[in-house]
Amino acid sequence: MASDARAELTVATSGPNETATGARCAGAWTLPAASDLDRTLAAVRWPTAGEFVVDGAGIVALDTAGAWLLHRTLRTLCARGCAARIDGLRPEFASLLNLLAAREIPLAAPVPPAPGLLARVGRRAWGTIAGTGGYLAFVGESALALLRALRHPRTLRWRPILHNIQTAGVEALPITGLLSFLMGVVIAYQGADQLQRFGANIFVVDLVALAMLRELSPLLTAIIIAGRSGSAYTAQIGTMKVTEEIDALRTIGVGAQELLVLPKVVALVIVMPLLTVYTDITGILGGMVMARTKLDVGFDAFVDRLDEAIQLSSYWTGLAKAPVFAMIVALVGCYRGFQVTGSAESVGAQTTMSVVQAIFLVIVTDALFSIVFLWLDL
Amino acid sequence: MTAMAQPATKTPVVDVRGVATRFGDAIVHESVDLAVHPGEVFALVGGSGSGKSTLLREIILLQRPAAGSIRVFGQEVVGMGDDAALPLRRRWGVMFERGALFSALTVAENVGMVLTEHTDLPPRLIREVAAVKIALTGLPADAGPKYPSELSGGMRKRASLARALALDPELLFLDEPTAGLDPLSATGIDELVRSLRDGLGLTIMMVTHDLDLMWRAADRVAVLGHGNIVGVGTMAELSRSDDPLVRQYFHGPRGRAALEQAWNRR
């Protein structure tokens, strides 16, 4: 259908600044020319009455874009009260024009209106409120499912739990270990200068051990797991939602909560404290290495001092946070997955939200823990 | 009617010769030969797993055959790079079996996106042309601002067809255009295929299972079986074929019902 003939539109007028009395089209009225033709058509002063004939005999190629321009022009003219028609078209082009005329095509394609500022703010606020309510409902449903499972422990699905322990726990060992080791190195390094000034080199043990055990190790682990596993939970459940697998589960009579949420929550609650103990150890190892190279505190001296520096309560307060963080990460990850609607973009958006909200809640909870521990004098 | 099935004197639009495909040890195509002529509606049929869709994917450069030659618009496409393929890709449109609409965009944006990428039309004209394509496929005008997830299966297929038509292609590939549709929507697709061919002068190659669609819309049909083309011709010719596989296909209970219906229409 392609043709090299340039598209032309010649408009006959009875004089300058007069309205058009007729038009002649020639050349290839196709997509590449549509932009120019559209501009030319817009510049013409069209009549509002009488007969108007378009001569289409010169058209050598016509596609839907060109046909649309002709059709739109004729229809606009007819709507303004002209008796407009096109003559001399080749039969195949005429049939294309008839094809368009047979369909109901809006003259001006509707542009979806952009919502105003107030509407956007309102929608956002409502979304947040509904999100909070939905989240609470989800936590409630999960708790009920957990209670049911605890009453009949056999219904708990151990295979997915073990699988999740493998993927979220065992496979996370290298990255969590490496990062907390580096964290130990950094804390010892940062403190070294200050401690050396007072000749208090040995107190690097207190610094590293307390910071790691009480705060950093559980927090770091939770943040890594939120990024690693929480996001995976959202993406998995979200994709299952898009492909209607969640609906299929419901029809088969298997609760999505039992099959998808509980194993993840249980697995993380088991795995997170273990990971925290592990990162406690690797973090202190990092501090030990730094203490020896920078502060001349040997491994023996470090371990000796460790015994005095930390009380058992420091260890337990850090460890107590881990299962709570685990629940936050797992529940937020799963909840966000269920919030996915239809599109691939929505999976991405919910995954982002899952990680951001999980980390946010983990840090807020950590602050609450600090206050509570202060009250309890731990 | 602009163009009916042309005699084979013109260069075929799609020319497949000796194409062989293997997935590991499984042989999908042994040696497939077929030619689609300008202006015809060509249907490729065959049982599940006979490699119809694979052959289609090889023609549209999504997959590479193990051996053989595929010419589209006279150009060899086997082993063609993406840059060289771009001008060809603009000349054909593909409707995928499950629609493959971009889920983050509305129907109108799905169609408009192709125009924005490949033409310099102003946004207003792009919206209008997109609305034309949407109307051409028989969708109501209010389908434009909807997202694919809000549409029914049949509407999604039509929307996918609208996107395939966006650049006014000369060649249209349809993968299972009626699969999963109710009979009424499927009949709508038959008529749509014919009206597109007649109105826009398209060459259409479709992969289908639907015997009614073949009787109503296809000029020629090729049957794929055992890794080869076992029969090719008009539906009337094929229904007289002696090949056991073709007979099995066209004289099964469904084939016979479609045949009777086709006779009754005459």
- The pLDDT tens digits for B83-98 are 888 888 888 888 888 8
Is residue A7 within 8 A of residue A21, CB to CB? The reply is no
B171-175 β-sheet, strand order: B92-95, B171-175, B203-207, B41-46, B220-225, B228-233
pTM beyond 0.95: the answer is no
Report phi then psi at B230, rounded to 5.
-95, -10
Kindly list the residues from chain A whose CB atom is less than 8 angstroms away from the CB atom of residue B131. Answer: 105-106, 109
Q: What angle do CA B225, B231, B235 make, to 5 degrees?
A: 120
Average pLDDT over residues B206-214: 83
Q: What is the pLDDT of residue B263?
A: 66
What dihedral do alpha carbons A319, A321, A324, A328 form, nearest 10°?
-120
Kindly list the residues from chain B whose CB atom is less than 8 angstroms away from the CB atom of residue A95. Answer: 2, 198-199
**Distance between B124 CA and the closest CA of chain A, angstroms:** 8
Q: What is the pLDDT of residue B256?
A: 67
What distance, in Å, lies between the first and last C-alpha atoms of chain A?
83
Average pLDDT over residues A231-253: 87
Question: What is chain A's alpha carbon radius of gyration, rounded to the nearest angstrom?
Answer: 36
Nearest neighbour of B120 by CB, restricted to A35, A72, A242? A35
Q: What is the pLDDT of residue A318?
A: 92
Mutation target among A3, A63, A346 for the B interface, most CBs of B within 10 A? A63
Nearest neighbour of B199 by CB, restricted to A34, A99, A104? A99
pLDDT interval class at A25 (50, 70, 90): confident
Nearest neighbour of B199 by CB, restricted to A31, A95, A105? A95
Range 150-209 of B in CB contact (< 8 A) with A: 150, 165, 167-168, 170, 195, 198-201
B122 vs A108: CB contact, 8 Å cut-off? no
Rounded percentage of chain A residues whose pLDDT exceeds 70: 97
Is A38 an interface residue toward B (CB < 8 Å)? Answer: yes
* Residue-wise pLDDT tens digits, B54-80: 888 888 888 888 888 888 888 888 888
Average pLDDT over residues B230-242: 82
Nearest neighbour of B103 by CB, restricted to A38, A98, A344? A344
Mutation target among B101, B136, B149, B165 for the A interface, most CBs of A within 10 A? B136
Which of the given ranges, A245-254, A316-325, B80-89, has the highest pLDDT on average?
Answer: A316-325
pLDDT interval class at B9 (50, 70, 90): low
Average pLDDT over residues B222-247: 82
Among chain B residues, the shortest Cα distance to A112 is held by: B145
Taking residue B61's Cβ as centre, other Cβ atoms within 10 Å add up to 20
Q: What angle do CA B229, B235, B236 make, to 5 degrees?
A: 120
Q: Where in chain A is the domain with CATH 3.30.750.24?
A: 2-102
Longest distance between any two alpha carbons in chain B, whole Å: 57
A63 vs B168: CB contact, 8 Å cut-off? yes
Q: Is the pLDDT of residue A4 over 80?
A: no
* Residue-wise pLDDT tens digits, A74-91: 888 888 888 888 888 888
Nearest neighbour of A342 by CB, restricted to B130, B131, B149? B149
Q: Is the pLDDT of residue A2 over 50?
A: no
Mutation target among B1, B13, B125 for the A interface, most CBs of A within 10 A? B125
Average pLDDT over residues A255-265: 87
CA distance B252 to B102: 38
| Higher per-residue pLDDT: A131 or A226 | A226
Q: How many residue pairs bridge chain A and chain B with CB atoms within 8 Å of each other?
A: 99
Q: Is the pLDDT of residue B8 over 60?
A: no
**Distance between A144 CA and the closest CA of chain B, angstroms:** 32
pLDDT interval class at A270 (50, 70, 90): very high
Which amino acid does the sequence have at A6? R
Nearest to B147 by CA among B114, B109, B93: B109
* Residue-wise pLDDT tens digits, B127-148: 888 888 888 888 888 888 888 8
Q: What is the pLDDT of residue A350?
A: 93
B119 vs A342: CB contact, 8 Å cut-off? no
Question: For the domain A2-102, what is the CATH superfamily, name and number?
Answer: STAS domain (3.30.750.24)
Which residue carries 């028609």 as its tokens? A85
Q: What is the pLDDT of residue B265?
A: 64
pLDDT interval class at A112 (50, 70, 90): low
Kindly list the residues from chain A whose CB atom is less than 8 angstroms away from the CB atom of residue B127. Answer: 109, 111
Among chain B residues, the shortest Cα distance to A64 is held by: B168
pLDDT interval class at A358 (50, 70, 90): very high
CB-neighbour burial class of residue B41 (10 A; exposed 0-12, middle 13-18, buried 19+): buried
Nearest neighbour of B167 by CB, restricted to A31, A35, A344? A31
Question: DSSP labels for B186-231?
Answer: HHHHHHHHHHHHHHH--EEEEE---HHHHHHH-SEEEEEETTEEEE
Mutation target among B88, B103, B161, B171 for the A interface, most CBs of A within 10 A? B103
CA distance B29 to B70: 13
pLDDT interval class at B4 (50, 70, 90): very low
Q: Which residues contact A164 (CB under 8 A, 6 or more apart)?
A: A229, A263, A264, A266, A267, A268, A271
Q: What is the mean pLDDT of chain B?
A: 82
Kindly list the residues from chain B whose CB atom is less than 8 angstroms away from the CB atom of residue A96. Answer: 199-200
Average pLDDT over residues B235-264: 75
Q: Is the pLDDT of residue B7 over 50?
A: no
A38 vs B125: CB contact, 8 Å cut-off? yes
| Tokens linked to A337 | 């997955």
Mutation target among B116, B129, B195 for the A interface, most CBs of A within 10 A? B129
ipTM: 0.73
* Residue-wise pLDDT tens digits, A142-191: 898 888 888 888 778 888 899 999 999 999 999 999 999 999 999 999 98
CA distance A290 to A284: 10
B130 vs A104: CB contact, 8 Å cut-off? no
Average pLDDT over residues A88-116: 77
Nearest to A245 by CA among A232, A259, A231: A259
Q: Is the pLDDT of residue B5 over 60?
A: no
